[in-house]
């Protein structure tokens, strides 16, 4: 595995690979790797000849008072995990490389950010879109994999690719979970013992509500939200940031369950960490048995 920290070196390496007619798969991450990240590596390895992973904790996507400073970091651990799991090139730029001076322009995401994390983290997706655009310019991948754990990020990036005619195919990775159902996240290590124990209820409640959506038990998306909110308020000591049931991928609120895919998504805040999770309810899963 090659480790590259300089942008110019990365571009030269990519050019070399492209000259050899090798396709490039890309997995952008903020590190502190877990099986969720590695499932994306497996996806790109199936689609492309060379897998590039980036590790960069992007300051632009953290708001004031958020956990940029305390975000878990362990470069040595990440290097050995990436190497053991078939990453070919690990790109680990420094902040000074990525942002040598303040940006004179930035990408402002105008659609789909008035809901979910976009509503509670103003500017977050502008920071995400800006760094992803920079990384795509450097790595020039044929495929880039993003996890459905960050479902709004997937929606934003897919639109970015469409809006700017980018020559990359976005691969959506399913959410990888711990045994008890908690969605894997680098931030999970910052949960206190009792918080970690109860946190599996986030998935369990979303799953129960999602199954009831599939069974046509709720007359509206709002009813599903109310159900999940009440159950989570009982089960968790965390503060509930949001629970929203939206059509996907446009992320719009609807009065009724119209056709198409839906997501039921939640964010909760513990003392040191904010967790997100969601469940995708695909059209085919609820098409029959109208009650």
Smallest gap from residue 60 Cβ to ligand AMP (A): 13
Nearer to ligand AMP by Cβ, of 48 and 176: the residue is 176
Binder of ligand AMP out of 7, 14, 30, 280 (CB under 6 A) = 30
Under 8 Å between Cβ of 91 and 55: yes
CB of residue 33 vs ligand AMP: minimum separation in angstroms? 8
Residue 152 in contact with ligand AMP, rule: CB under 6 A: no
d(CA 151, CA 270) in angstroms, rounded, equals: 21
Single residue of 92, 156, 168, 184 touching ligand AMP by CB under 6 A: 184
Binding mask 90-129 for ligand AMP (x = CB under 6 A): ----------------------------------------
Q: Rule CB under 6 A: say whether 150 interacts with ligand AMP.
A: yes
- The residue with tokens 């940031």 is 241
Q: Is 37 a catalytic residue?
A: yes
> Which region, judged by CB under 6 A, interacts with ligand AMP, from 100-108, 177-185, 193-201, 223-231?
177-185
User: What is the spatial distance between Cα 48 and Cα 226, in angstroms, rounded to a whole number?
Assistant: 43
Assigned token pair, 183: 């969605």
Burial class of residue 256, CB neighbours in 10 A (0-12, 13-18, 19+)? exposed
Among 17, 54, 186, 278, contact with ligand AMP (rule: CB under 6 A): 186
Detail the DSSP E strand segments found in the chain.
Answer: 2-4, 24-29, 50-55, 89-91, 143-147, 169-173, 239-248, 261-269, 274-281
Q: Please classify residue 208 by burial: count the beta carbons closer than 10 Å to its beta carbon, then call 0-12 exposed, 13-18 middle and 19+ buried.
A: middle
Residues that bind ligand AMP (CB under 6 A): 29-30, 36-37, 39-40, 146-147, 149-150, 173, 175-176, 183-186
Q: Which residues form the catalytic set?
A: 37
């Amino acid at each position: 595995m090659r480790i590259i920290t300089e942008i110019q070196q990365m571009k030269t390496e990519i050019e070399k690979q492209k000259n050899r007619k090798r396709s490039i798969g890309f997995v952008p991450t903020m590190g502190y790797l877990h099986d969720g990240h590695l499932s994306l590596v497996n996806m790109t390895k199936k689609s492309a000849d060379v897998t590039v992973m980036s590790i960069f904790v992007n300051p632009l996507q953290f708001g004031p008072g958020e956990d940029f400073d305390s975000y878990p970091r362990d470069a040595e651990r990440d290097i050995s995990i990436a190497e053991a799991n078939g990453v070919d090139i690990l790109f680990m730029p420094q902040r000074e490389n990525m942002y040598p001076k303040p940006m004179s322009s930035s990408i402002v995401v105008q659609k789909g950010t008035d809901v979910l994390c976009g509503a509670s983290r103003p500017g977050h997706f502008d920071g995400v879109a800006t760094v992803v655009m920079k990384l795509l310019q450097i790595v020039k991948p044929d495929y880039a994999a993003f996890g459905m754990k960050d479902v709004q990020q997937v929606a934003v990036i897919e639109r970015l690719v469409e809006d700017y005619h980018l020559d990359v195919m976005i691969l959506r990775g399913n959410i990888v979970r711990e045994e008890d159902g908690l969605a894997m996240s680098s931030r999970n290590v910052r949960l206190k013992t009792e918080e970690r124990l109860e946190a599996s209820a986030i998935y369990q409640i979303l799953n129960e509500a999602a199954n009831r959506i599939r069974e046509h038990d709720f007359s509206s998306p709002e009813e599903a939200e109310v159900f999940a909110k009440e159950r989570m308020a009982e089960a968790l000591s965390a503060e509930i940031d949001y629970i929203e049931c939206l059509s996907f991928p446009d992320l719009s609120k609807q009065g009724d369950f119209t056709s198409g895919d839906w997501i039921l998504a939640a964010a909760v805040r513990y003392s040191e960490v904010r967790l997100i999770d969601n469940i995708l309810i695909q059209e085919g899963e609820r098409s029959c048995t109208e009650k």
